[in-house]
Structure 1
Amino acid sequence: MKKLVTALFATIAIASSGSVFAGTSEITWTNPEKYTDMRPANETKKGFQQRTFRNLEKHVTKLASDLPEGYTLKMDVTDVNLAGEVQMRSTQMIRVVDRVFIPSMKFSYQLVDASGAVVKEEAEVKLKDMNFMDSSAANRYRSQSFSYEKVMLDKWFNAAFSDYKS
């Protein structure tokens, strides 16, 4: 019972603490068959694509939750180039991550407020992380898939939306 009361008070404290942040995101993956590198190593192309999209959507949703309540980040992704390159090693295909195979993404976005008004937009964002292997930030996602891409998205999001975050 004590844990329940503590959890209840914590929830009330969070809910009443000034600014409420709970933005959302929507991602459209335009022509993924034309993306620079969405090549699977040891799974089907469709399965890998779905897993990649699911992982990156989940990450962008987490980032967007730092936006004010009612705000929606709408992204239209037009290209993805994952860190590394799929190569044959011994008897199987694996993704080899090396400095020359940098992660990159191209997309457009709109940040829409609760009334539906566009408060910020960019027609074409070209992200790339030339120093992805030197960043200690990737350690944060070390045990997760697409860690380099997540760090790249973190850097972009924090720079692009610093005025909208708490």
Structure 2
Amino acid sequence: MSALGELNSFLGLHVRKDSKGIFIHQGKYIDDIISKFKLQDAKPANTPMAEIPVLTEDLEGEAIDETLYRSMIGSLMYLTSSRPDIMFNVCQCARYQAAPKLSHLNAVKRIFRYLKDRLQLGLLYRRESPFDLCAFSDSNFGGTGRDMKSTSAGCQFLGDRLIS
């Protein structure tokens, strides 16, 4: 191995180190996937998913290209490593990869529209932060009345640094 200097970019992750700490983002990757799926002209969205209508299996909906849908979901799943703000929404959409409908594709496109205006959001690991381990968990074991699927999530912090 050879010393290549300070890390700036690795597998789509951009790393910036300064006096505040280390900032990790995937701005260029977001730009690339927006271009890949031809959503450059799409109107930005304020939130990654609409509250109403609720995303469901949509048995009566128009079927779409499964390959395109799965490719979009895969691109978004890779992005969640530095964007926990979209994790729940991407996982909701990923549930319908077996038989995606137009309503599911529109939900995925909304996540892209949300990302379009927020390229430089990421994770900041502050230099001056305590090393206290703290974990949060949230679970809904009964699910909602419409699908009865359990949902759970959790995150762990080392000080104010998100580690998982």
TM, length-normalised to structure 2: 0.30
More helix by share: 1
The structure with more strand, counted as a fraction of residues: 1
